[in-house]
Copies of this chain bind each other. A is one copy, B any other.
Amino acid sequence: MKRIALALATTTLLGGPALGQRTAPAPVKVDPAVGKLRDKALDDHIAYDIVEGLTTEIGPRPEGSDPQARARAWGVARLKALGFRNVRVETYTLPVWERGVELAEVVSPFPQKLRLAALGNAGATPPAGLTAPVVFFETFNDLLNAAPGSLAGKIAFVSNSMQPTQDGSSYGSQGIARFAGPNVAATKGAAAIVIRSIGTDHGRGPHTGSTNFAPGVTPIPAAALSVADAENLERMVKRGKPVTLHLTLTPRQIGTRESGNVIAEVPGTDPNAGIVLIGGHLDSWDLGTGAIDDASGIGITTAAAKYLMEAGRHRRTIRVVWFGDEEMGGIGGAAYARAHANERHATAGESDFGADRVWRFETNLPDSARAVADRLAVALAPLGIVRGTGVGGDGTDVGPVLRTGVAAIDLNQDGTRYFDYHHTPEDTLALIDPVQLRQNVAAWTAMLAVVADAPEEIGPVTPKG
Protein backbone atom coordinates (compact mmCIF):
# COMPACT_ATOMS: atom_id res chain seq x y z
CA MET A 1 0.00 0.00 0.00
CA LYS A 2 2.94 2.30 0.62
CA ARG A 3 3.92 2.05 -3.02
CA ILE A 4 0.49 3.05 -4.25
CA ALA A 5 0.22 5.99 -1.87
CA LEU A 6 3.59 7.29 -2.98
CA ALA A 7 2.73 7.04 -6.66
CA LEU A 8 -0.51 8.97 -6.18
CA ALA A 9 1.15 11.67 -4.10
CA THR A 10 3.85 12.19 -6.74
CA THR A 11 1.29 12.42 -9.50
CA THR A 12 -0.73 15.04 -7.64
CA LEU A 13 2.33 17.13 -6.75
CA LEU A 14 3.42 17.20 -10.37
CA GLY A 15 -0.06 18.13 -11.55
CA GLY A 16 -0.33 14.82 -13.41
CA PRO A 17 -3.51 12.90 -14.13
CA ALA A 18 -5.68 11.75 -11.25
CA LEU A 19 -6.30 8.02 -10.86
CA GLY A 20 -9.30 8.02 -13.21
CA GLN A 21 -7.32 9.75 -15.98
CA ARG A 22 -4.21 7.58 -16.10
CA THR A 23 -2.60 7.20 -19.46
CA ALA A 24 -2.86 3.85 -21.20
CA PRO A 25 0.12 1.51 -20.93
CA ALA A 26 2.03 0.45 -24.03
CA PRO A 27 0.43 -2.46 -25.86
CA VAL A 28 1.75 -5.92 -25.00
CA LYS A 29 1.92 -8.74 -27.53
CA VAL A 30 1.33 -12.28 -26.33
CA ASP A 31 1.60 -15.28 -28.66
CA PRO A 32 -2.01 -16.38 -29.32
CA ALA A 33 -0.88 -19.95 -28.62
CA VAL A 34 -0.58 -19.00 -24.94
CA GLY A 35 -4.27 -18.14 -24.64
CA LYS A 36 -5.30 -21.29 -26.48
CA LEU A 37 -3.23 -23.49 -24.18
CA ARG A 38 -4.56 -21.65 -21.12
CA ASP A 39 -8.17 -22.09 -22.15
CA LYS A 40 -7.67 -25.75 -23.00
CA ALA A 41 -6.41 -26.24 -19.44
CA LEU A 42 -9.77 -25.02 -18.14
CA ASP A 43 -11.08 -28.47 -19.13
CA ASP A 44 -8.37 -30.21 -17.10
CA HIS A 45 -9.02 -33.44 -15.24
CA ILE A 46 -5.41 -34.42 -14.49
CA ALA A 47 -5.10 -32.28 -11.37
CA TYR A 48 -8.33 -33.62 -9.88
CA ASP A 49 -7.32 -37.20 -10.73
CA ILE A 50 -4.04 -36.74 -8.86
CA VAL A 51 -5.73 -35.29 -5.79
CA GLU A 52 -8.42 -37.96 -5.88
CA GLY A 53 -5.80 -40.68 -6.30
CA LEU A 54 -3.47 -39.54 -3.52
CA THR A 55 -6.30 -39.02 -1.03
CA THR A 56 -8.08 -42.27 -1.87
CA GLU A 57 -5.24 -44.70 -2.59
CA ILE A 58 -2.71 -43.34 -0.08
CA GLY A 59 -4.47 -41.03 2.40
CA PRO A 60 -2.42 -39.17 5.03
CA ARG A 61 1.28 -38.95 4.13
CA PRO A 62 3.19 -37.81 7.22
CA GLU A 63 6.91 -37.14 6.95
CA GLY A 64 9.05 -40.27 6.98
CA SER A 65 6.06 -42.65 7.05
CA ASP A 66 5.29 -45.78 5.07
CA PRO A 67 2.33 -44.14 3.31
CA GLN A 68 4.64 -41.36 2.18
CA ALA A 69 7.01 -43.95 0.70
CA ARG A 70 4.06 -45.52 -1.12
CA ALA A 71 3.11 -42.07 -2.34
CA ARG A 72 6.54 -41.62 -3.91
CA ALA A 73 6.17 -44.90 -5.79
CA TRP A 74 2.65 -43.85 -6.78
CA GLY A 75 4.04 -40.55 -8.05
CA VAL A 76 6.78 -42.13 -10.12
CA ALA A 77 4.27 -44.43 -11.79
CA ARG A 78 1.81 -41.62 -12.43
CA LEU A 79 4.41 -39.22 -13.82
CA LYS A 80 5.81 -41.89 -16.15
CA ALA A 81 2.31 -42.75 -17.33
CA LEU A 82 1.74 -39.08 -18.11
CA GLY A 83 4.81 -39.11 -20.37
CA PHE A 84 7.25 -37.04 -18.32
CA ARG A 85 11.00 -37.50 -18.79
CA ASN A 86 13.76 -38.14 -16.27
CA VAL A 87 11.27 -39.28 -13.65
CA ARG A 88 13.09 -40.28 -10.47
CA VAL A 89 13.19 -40.07 -6.67
CA GLU A 90 16.07 -38.14 -5.12
CA THR A 91 16.45 -39.46 -1.59
CA TYR A 92 17.59 -37.84 1.63
CA THR A 93 17.14 -38.60 5.33
CA LEU A 94 15.29 -36.71 8.01
CA PRO A 95 14.43 -36.94 11.72
CA VAL A 96 10.86 -38.12 12.28
CA TRP A 97 8.40 -37.04 14.96
CA GLU A 98 5.33 -39.20 15.51
CA ARG A 99 1.99 -38.39 17.15
CA GLY A 100 0.88 -40.47 20.14
CA VAL A 101 -2.10 -40.47 22.46
CA GLU A 102 -3.67 -37.05 22.89
CA LEU A 103 -6.32 -36.41 25.51
CA ALA A 104 -7.34 -33.34 27.45
CA GLU A 105 -9.89 -33.01 30.18
CA VAL A 106 -11.00 -30.13 32.36
CA VAL A 107 -10.70 -31.50 35.89
CA SER A 108 -12.34 -28.51 37.55
CA PRO A 109 -14.46 -26.49 37.81
CA PHE A 110 -16.44 -27.81 34.80
CA PRO A 111 -15.31 -31.37 34.02
CA GLN A 112 -15.43 -32.20 30.32
CA LYS A 113 -13.14 -33.46 27.60
CA LEU A 114 -11.50 -31.11 25.12
CA ARG A 115 -10.29 -31.93 21.61
CA LEU A 116 -6.72 -31.13 20.74
CA ALA A 117 -3.76 -32.24 18.62
CA ALA A 118 -0.08 -32.21 19.51
CA LEU A 119 2.17 -29.84 17.58
CA GLY A 120 5.01 -31.28 15.52
CA ASN A 121 8.23 -31.50 17.59
CA ALA A 122 6.28 -31.21 20.85
CA GLY A 123 7.45 -33.06 23.93
CA ALA A 124 5.42 -35.63 25.85
CA THR A 125 3.67 -35.79 29.20
CA PRO A 126 4.18 -38.84 31.41
CA PRO A 127 2.19 -41.78 29.95
CA ALA A 128 -0.55 -41.25 32.56
CA GLY A 129 -0.66 -37.54 31.81
CA LEU A 130 -0.17 -34.50 34.00
CA THR A 131 -2.61 -32.37 35.95
CA ALA A 132 -1.89 -28.67 36.38
CA PRO A 133 -3.56 -25.29 36.72
CA VAL A 134 -4.13 -23.21 33.61
CA VAL A 135 -2.62 -19.77 33.13
CA PHE A 136 -4.57 -17.87 30.50
CA PHE A 137 -3.03 -15.52 27.93
CA GLU A 138 -5.39 -13.74 25.59
CA THR A 139 -2.57 -13.02 23.13
CA PHE A 140 0.91 -14.24 22.32
CA ASN A 141 2.27 -10.88 23.42
CA ASP A 142 0.76 -11.48 26.87
CA LEU A 143 2.73 -14.73 27.04
CA LEU A 144 5.89 -12.87 26.08
CA ASN A 145 5.24 -10.50 28.99
CA ALA A 146 4.87 -13.29 31.58
CA ALA A 147 7.55 -13.07 34.27
CA PRO A 148 10.41 -15.60 34.11
CA GLY A 149 9.56 -18.67 36.18
CA SER A 150 5.93 -17.57 36.57
CA LEU A 151 4.70 -20.60 34.64
CA ALA A 152 6.54 -23.21 36.69
CA GLY A 153 4.35 -26.30 37.03
CA LYS A 154 1.53 -24.72 35.06
CA ILE A 155 -0.13 -25.15 31.69
CA ALA A 156 0.01 -22.01 29.58
CA PHE A 157 -3.11 -21.43 27.47
CA VAL A 158 -2.68 -18.91 24.65
CA SER A 159 -5.96 -18.11 22.96
CA ASN A 160 -5.05 -15.61 20.28
CA SER A 161 -7.59 -15.73 17.47
CA MET A 162 -6.92 -15.63 13.77
CA GLN A 163 -8.82 -13.73 11.10
CA PRO A 164 -9.22 -14.88 7.51
CA THR A 165 -7.30 -12.91 4.89
CA GLN A 166 -7.24 -13.38 1.13
CA ASP A 167 -3.44 -13.31 1.00
CA GLY A 168 -2.90 -15.46 4.08
CA SER A 169 -0.91 -12.77 5.85
CA SER A 170 -2.64 -13.51 9.15
CA TYR A 171 -0.75 -16.81 9.31
CA GLY A 172 2.44 -14.95 10.01
CA SER A 173 1.08 -12.59 12.63
CA GLN A 174 -1.22 -15.08 14.41
CA GLY A 175 0.71 -18.26 13.66
CA ILE A 176 3.55 -17.06 15.85
CA ALA A 177 1.67 -18.47 18.88
CA ARG A 178 2.24 -21.91 17.37
CA PHE A 179 5.67 -21.37 15.82
CA ALA A 180 7.22 -19.80 18.91
CA GLY A 181 4.72 -20.09 21.78
CA PRO A 182 5.89 -23.51 23.07
CA ASN A 183 9.52 -22.40 23.18
CA VAL A 184 8.59 -19.21 25.05
CA ALA A 185 6.43 -21.13 27.53
CA ALA A 186 9.22 -23.67 28.06
CA THR A 187 11.76 -20.95 28.83
CA LYS A 188 9.37 -19.52 31.43
CA GLY A 189 9.11 -22.91 33.14
CA ALA A 190 5.70 -24.10 31.90
CA ALA A 191 4.87 -27.79 32.34
CA ALA A 192 2.97 -27.68 29.04
CA ILE A 193 1.22 -25.33 26.65
CA VAL A 194 -2.08 -25.46 24.81
CA ILE A 195 -2.94 -22.88 22.18
CA ARG A 196 -6.12 -21.98 20.37
CA SER A 197 -5.70 -23.57 16.94
CA ILE A 198 -4.20 -21.36 14.29
CA GLY A 199 -7.39 -21.53 12.28
CA THR A 200 -10.29 -19.37 11.17
CA ASP A 201 -13.10 -21.86 11.75
CA HIS A 202 -15.11 -22.48 14.92
CA GLY A 203 -15.18 -26.27 14.68
CA ARG A 204 -13.88 -29.28 16.59
CA GLY A 205 -11.03 -30.29 14.31
CA PRO A 206 -7.77 -29.14 15.92
CA HIS A 207 -5.18 -27.53 13.61
CA THR A 208 -1.82 -29.17 14.07
CA GLY A 209 1.47 -27.88 12.61
CA SER A 210 5.11 -27.79 13.56
CA THR A 211 6.72 -25.82 16.32
CA ASN A 212 10.35 -25.41 17.30
CA PHE A 213 12.40 -25.32 20.45
CA ALA A 214 15.65 -23.41 20.64
CA PRO A 215 18.86 -25.40 21.15
CA GLY A 216 19.16 -26.26 24.83
CA VAL A 217 15.45 -25.86 25.54
CA THR A 218 13.80 -29.17 26.44
CA PRO A 219 10.61 -29.61 24.42
CA ILE A 220 7.47 -29.44 26.57
CA PRO A 221 4.10 -30.99 25.74
CA ALA A 222 2.43 -28.61 23.29
CA ALA A 223 -0.90 -28.93 21.54
CA ALA A 224 -3.57 -26.97 19.72
CA LEU A 225 -7.14 -27.08 21.02
CA SER A 226 -9.85 -27.00 18.37
CA VAL A 227 -11.15 -23.45 18.06
CA ALA A 228 -14.51 -24.49 19.56
CA ASP A 229 -12.76 -26.11 22.51
CA ALA A 230 -10.45 -23.12 23.02
CA GLU A 231 -13.48 -20.83 23.01
CA ASN A 232 -15.12 -23.09 25.59
CA LEU A 233 -12.01 -23.16 27.80
CA GLU A 234 -11.75 -19.38 27.51
CA ARG A 235 -15.36 -19.03 28.70
CA MET A 236 -14.52 -21.26 31.68
CA VAL A 237 -11.45 -19.21 32.55
CA LYS A 238 -13.42 -15.96 32.32
CA ARG A 239 -15.92 -17.19 34.91
CA GLY A 240 -13.13 -16.48 37.38
CA LYS A 241 -12.59 -19.81 39.15
CA PRO A 242 -9.21 -21.58 38.86
CA VAL A 243 -9.22 -24.03 35.97
CA THR A 244 -7.27 -27.30 36.15
CA LEU A 245 -6.49 -29.45 33.13
CA HIS A 246 -5.43 -33.06 32.80
CA LEU A 247 -3.32 -33.51 29.70
CA THR A 248 -1.98 -36.68 28.10
CA LEU A 249 0.29 -36.27 25.07
CA THR A 250 2.72 -39.03 24.08
CA PRO A 251 4.37 -38.03 20.80
CA ARG A 252 7.98 -39.04 20.24
CA GLN A 253 10.96 -38.60 17.99
CA ILE A 254 11.41 -41.99 16.32
CA GLY A 255 14.81 -41.38 14.73
CA THR A 256 16.09 -40.93 11.20
CA ARG A 257 14.19 -42.20 8.15
CA GLU A 258 14.71 -42.07 4.42
CA SER A 259 12.50 -39.86 2.30
CA GLY A 260 12.80 -38.19 -1.08
CA ASN A 261 11.70 -35.70 -3.71
CA VAL A 262 9.91 -37.04 -6.77
CA ILE A 263 11.15 -35.24 -9.88
CA ALA A 264 9.97 -35.15 -13.50
CA GLU A 265 10.86 -33.03 -16.48
CA VAL A 266 9.68 -31.66 -19.77
CA PRO A 267 12.96 -30.94 -21.57
CA GLY A 268 13.40 -27.62 -23.37
CA THR A 269 15.42 -26.82 -26.48
CA ASP A 270 17.97 -24.52 -24.81
CA PRO A 271 19.87 -26.15 -21.94
CA ASN A 272 21.53 -22.82 -21.14
CA ALA A 273 18.31 -20.83 -20.65
CA GLY A 274 17.75 -22.06 -17.11
CA ILE A 275 15.20 -24.42 -15.62
CA VAL A 276 11.65 -23.37 -14.80
CA LEU A 277 11.09 -25.01 -11.42
CA ILE A 278 7.55 -25.69 -10.21
CA GLY A 279 5.86 -28.03 -7.77
CA GLY A 280 4.01 -28.76 -4.57
CA HIS A 281 4.66 -31.07 -1.63
CA LEU A 282 3.85 -34.74 -1.26
CA ASP A 283 3.87 -35.00 2.52
CA SER A 284 0.81 -34.08 4.52
CA TRP A 285 -0.24 -33.85 8.12
CA ASP A 286 -1.57 -37.07 9.56
CA LEU A 287 -5.01 -35.81 10.59
CA GLY A 288 -6.55 -35.30 7.14
CA THR A 289 -5.79 -36.83 3.77
CA GLY A 290 -3.81 -33.83 2.56
CA ALA A 291 -6.05 -32.73 -0.31
CA ILE A 292 -5.57 -28.96 -0.14
CA ASP A 293 -2.22 -29.32 1.61
CA ASP A 294 -0.89 -30.23 -0.76
CA ALA A 295 -2.06 -32.87 -3.22
CA SER A 296 -3.72 -29.99 -5.07
CA GLY A 297 -0.44 -28.15 -5.55
CA ILE A 298 1.10 -31.29 -6.98
CA GLY A 299 -1.88 -31.87 -9.23
CA ILE A 300 -2.03 -28.28 -10.47
CA THR A 301 1.65 -27.96 -11.36
CA THR A 302 1.86 -31.46 -12.86
CA ALA A 303 -1.19 -30.88 -15.04
CA ALA A 304 0.16 -27.53 -16.28
CA ALA A 305 3.52 -29.09 -17.18
CA LYS A 306 1.71 -31.86 -19.02
CA TYR A 307 -0.08 -29.27 -21.22
CA LEU A 308 3.26 -27.69 -22.09
CA MET A 309 4.56 -31.15 -22.97
CA GLU A 310 1.58 -31.74 -25.25
CA ALA A 311 2.02 -28.35 -26.92
CA GLY A 312 5.46 -29.39 -28.17
CA ARG A 313 8.87 -27.73 -28.16
CA HIS A 314 9.70 -24.79 -25.91
CA ARG A 315 12.92 -23.13 -24.89
CA ARG A 316 13.38 -23.86 -21.18
CA THR A 317 13.24 -27.18 -19.39
CA ILE A 318 10.29 -27.40 -17.02
CA ARG A 319 11.02 -29.35 -13.88
CA VAL A 320 8.16 -30.51 -11.68
CA VAL A 321 9.09 -31.46 -8.14
CA TRP A 322 6.81 -33.28 -5.72
CA PHE A 323 8.77 -32.06 -2.70
CA GLY A 324 8.99 -34.85 -0.16
CA ASP A 325 8.84 -33.04 3.15
CA GLU A 326 7.57 -29.52 3.71
CA GLU A 327 5.56 -29.58 6.91
CA MET A 328 8.34 -29.85 9.48
CA GLY A 329 10.48 -27.04 8.14
CA GLY A 330 11.00 -27.60 4.43
CA ILE A 331 13.47 -30.47 4.51
CA GLY A 332 12.54 -31.60 0.98
CA GLY A 333 13.12 -28.15 -0.50
CA ALA A 334 16.44 -27.81 1.28
CA ALA A 335 17.53 -31.22 0.00
CA TYR A 336 16.55 -30.24 -3.53
CA ALA A 337 18.52 -27.01 -3.37
CA ARG A 338 21.61 -28.83 -2.09
CA ALA A 339 21.40 -31.47 -4.81
CA HIS A 340 20.93 -28.95 -7.59
CA ALA A 341 23.15 -26.12 -6.40
CA ASN A 342 25.20 -26.21 -9.60
CA GLU A 343 22.29 -25.98 -12.02
CA ARG A 344 20.96 -22.78 -13.48
CA HIS A 345 17.31 -22.07 -12.62
CA ALA A 346 15.51 -19.31 -14.49
CA THR A 347 12.45 -19.08 -12.23
CA ALA A 348 10.89 -20.98 -9.35
CA GLY A 349 7.40 -21.08 -7.92
CA GLU A 350 5.30 -23.45 -5.85
CA SER A 351 1.59 -24.10 -5.36
CA ASP A 352 0.99 -24.64 -1.66
CA PHE A 353 -1.98 -22.63 -0.50
CA GLY A 354 -4.96 -24.85 -1.22
CA ALA A 355 -7.08 -25.33 -4.30
CA ASP A 356 -9.12 -22.16 -4.49
CA ARG A 357 -8.65 -19.79 -7.40
CA VAL A 358 -5.56 -17.80 -8.18
CA TRP A 359 -6.43 -14.14 -7.64
CA ARG A 360 -3.05 -12.39 -8.00
CA PHE A 361 0.44 -12.87 -9.27
CA GLU A 362 3.63 -11.28 -8.02
CA THR A 363 7.23 -11.61 -9.19
CA ASN A 364 10.64 -10.25 -8.44
CA LEU A 365 11.71 -10.33 -12.07
CA PRO A 366 14.55 -7.93 -12.83
CA ASP A 367 13.96 -4.91 -15.06
CA SER A 368 15.68 -6.76 -17.89
CA ALA A 369 12.81 -9.25 -17.83
CA ARG A 370 10.02 -6.80 -17.13
CA ALA A 371 8.46 -7.63 -20.49
CA VAL A 372 7.96 -11.21 -19.24
CA ALA A 373 5.88 -9.93 -16.33
CA ASP A 374 3.92 -7.68 -18.70
CA ARG A 375 3.08 -10.65 -20.89
CA LEU A 376 2.15 -12.66 -17.78
CA ALA A 377 -0.27 -9.92 -16.75
CA VAL A 378 -1.99 -10.04 -20.12
CA ALA A 379 -2.04 -13.83 -20.28
CA LEU A 380 -3.45 -14.24 -16.75
CA ALA A 381 -6.03 -11.41 -16.79
CA PRO A 382 -8.76 -13.46 -18.55
CA LEU A 383 -8.70 -15.80 -15.54
CA GLY A 384 -9.52 -12.90 -13.23
CA ILE A 385 -5.97 -12.65 -11.94
CA VAL A 386 -4.57 -9.24 -11.01
CA ARG A 387 -0.99 -8.03 -11.00
CA GLY A 388 0.06 -7.50 -7.41
CA THR A 389 1.85 -4.44 -6.11
CA GLY A 390 4.20 -6.42 -3.88
CA VAL A 391 7.32 -8.44 -4.50
CA GLY A 392 7.10 -12.17 -5.18
CA GLY A 393 9.32 -14.77 -3.63
CA ASP A 394 7.38 -16.80 -1.09
CA GLY A 395 7.36 -20.53 -0.56
CA THR A 396 8.94 -22.98 1.84
CA ASP A 397 9.99 -25.53 -0.76
CA VAL A 398 11.40 -23.20 -3.41
CA GLY A 399 12.72 -20.81 -0.77
CA PRO A 400 16.25 -22.28 -0.69
CA VAL A 401 16.50 -21.99 -4.49
CA LEU A 402 15.07 -18.48 -4.48
CA ARG A 403 17.61 -17.41 -1.90
CA THR A 404 20.39 -18.19 -4.41
CA GLY A 405 19.09 -15.39 -6.64
CA VAL A 406 16.57 -17.24 -8.78
CA ALA A 407 13.57 -15.20 -9.93
CA ALA A 408 10.23 -15.94 -8.26
CA ILE A 409 6.83 -16.10 -9.88
CA ASP A 410 4.09 -16.43 -7.28
CA LEU A 411 0.59 -17.36 -8.36
CA ASN A 412 -1.35 -16.44 -5.21
CA GLN A 413 -4.38 -18.52 -4.35
CA ASP A 414 -7.36 -17.11 -2.52
CA GLY A 415 -6.76 -18.03 1.11
CA THR A 416 -10.03 -16.75 2.55
CA ARG A 417 -11.24 -20.21 3.59
CA TYR A 418 -7.86 -21.97 3.62
CA PHE A 419 -7.32 -21.65 7.36
CA ASP A 420 -10.74 -23.06 8.11
CA TYR A 421 -9.27 -26.46 7.19
CA HIS A 422 -5.46 -26.16 7.13
CA HIS A 423 -3.75 -28.96 9.10
CA THR A 424 -7.06 -30.38 10.38
CA PRO A 425 -8.87 -33.69 9.89
CA GLU A 426 -11.10 -31.81 7.45
CA ASP A 427 -8.43 -31.56 4.76
CA THR A 428 -10.00 -34.10 2.39
CA LEU A 429 -11.15 -34.36 -1.21
CA ALA A 430 -14.50 -32.86 -0.18
CA LEU A 431 -12.81 -29.43 -0.04
CA ILE A 432 -11.76 -29.48 -3.67
CA ASP A 433 -13.85 -27.29 -5.95
CA PRO A 434 -13.13 -28.70 -9.42
CA VAL A 435 -13.90 -25.39 -11.18
CA GLN A 436 -11.44 -23.43 -9.06
CA LEU A 437 -8.90 -26.23 -9.35
CA ARG A 438 -9.07 -25.97 -13.16
CA GLN A 439 -8.61 -22.21 -12.98
CA ASN A 440 -5.37 -22.90 -11.12
CA VAL A 441 -4.21 -25.31 -13.80
CA ALA A 442 -5.00 -22.75 -16.48
CA ALA A 443 -3.05 -20.08 -14.60
CA TRP A 444 0.02 -22.27 -14.23
CA THR A 445 -0.26 -23.38 -17.85
CA ALA A 446 -0.35 -19.76 -19.01
CA MET A 447 2.58 -18.90 -16.76
CA LEU A 448 4.64 -21.79 -18.10
CA ALA A 449 3.77 -20.95 -21.69
CA VAL A 450 4.98 -17.38 -21.22
CA VAL A 451 8.07 -18.10 -19.14
CA ALA A 452 9.35 -21.29 -20.74
CA ASP A 453 9.49 -19.66 -24.15
CA ALA A 454 10.54 -16.14 -23.12
CA PRO A 455 13.49 -14.98 -25.27
CA GLU A 456 14.69 -12.66 -22.50
CA GLU A 457 17.39 -13.73 -20.09
CA ILE A 458 15.91 -14.09 -16.59
CA GLY A 459 17.93 -13.50 -13.45
CA PRO A 460 19.85 -13.51 -11.29
CA VAL A 461 17.73 -11.34 -8.98
CA THR A 462 18.01 -9.93 -5.49
CA PRO A 463 16.14 -12.36 -3.22
CA LYS A 464 13.12 -11.07 -1.30
CA GLY A 465 14.14 -9.89 2.19
Contacts and interface: CB of A to CB of B under 8 A. Distances in A.
Interface of A: 52, 55-60, 67, 109-113, 115, 202-205, 227-228, 231-232, 235-236, 239, 288-289, 425-426, 428-430
Contacts of A425: 115, 204
Q: Which 5 A-B pairs have the closest CB atoms?
A: A59-B112, A202-B430, A204-B425, A228-B428, A56-B235
Given A111-B67, A115-B425, A288-B204, A231 B59 contact: no
Nearest to A114: B59
A52 B430 CA distance: 31
A428 B232 contact: yes
A45 to B, nearest CB: 15
Contacts of A57: 109-110, 236, 239
Nearest to A229: B428
| Residue in A55, A58, A59, A231 with the greatest tally of chain B CB atoms within 10 Å | A59
A49 to B, nearest CB: 12
Contacts of A232: 55-56, 59, 289, 428-429
A85 to B, nearest CB: 28
8 contacts: A57-B109, A59-B112, A67-B112, A204-B205, A204-B425, A228-B429, A228-B430, A231-B430
Contacts of A429: 228, 231-232
Given A55-B232, A67-B111, 4 more contacts: A52-B235, A57-B236, A115-B425, A204-B288
| Residue in A109, A235, A236 with the greatest tally of chain B CB atoms within 10 Å | A235
A59 B228 CA distance: 12
Contacts of A113: 59-60
A232 B430 CA distance: 9
Contact of A110 (B58, B109, B228, B231): B58
A60 B60 CA distance: 30
Nearest to A57: B110
A232 B203 CA distance: 21
A256 B95 CA distance: 51
A56 B236 contact: yes
A97 B291 CA distance: 36
A282 B372 CA distance: 65
B430 A58 contact: no
A112 B70 CA distance: 12
Contacts of A228: 426, 428-430
Contacts of A55: 232
A436 to B, nearest CB: 16
A150 to B, nearest CB: 27
| Residue in A110, A227, A288 with the greatest tally of chain B CB atoms within 10 Å | A110
B203 A426 contact: yes
A429 B231 CA distance: 9
A232 B427 CA distance: 13
Given A67-B112, A232-B289, A426 B204 contact: yes
Contacts of A52: 235
Contacts of A110: 56-59
A202 B58 CA distance: 19
A111 to B, nearest CB: 7
A422 to B, nearest CB: 14
| Residue in A109, A115, A203, A231 with the greatest tally of chain B CB atoms within 10 Å | A203
A112 B289 contact: yes
Contacts of A60: 112-113
A222 to B, nearest CB: 22
A56 B429 CA distance: 33
Contacts of A203: 205, 426, 430
| Residue in A227, A228, A236 with the greatest tally of chain B CB atoms within 10 Å | A228
A125 to B, nearest CB: 20
Contacts of A112: 58-60, 67, 289
A312 to B, nearest CB: 34
Contacts of A109: 57
Contacts of A59: 110-113, 232
A67 B111 CA distance: 8
Nearest to A424: B204
A327 to B, nearest CB: 18
A69 to B, nearest CB: 12
Nearest to A70: B111
Contacts of A239: 56-57
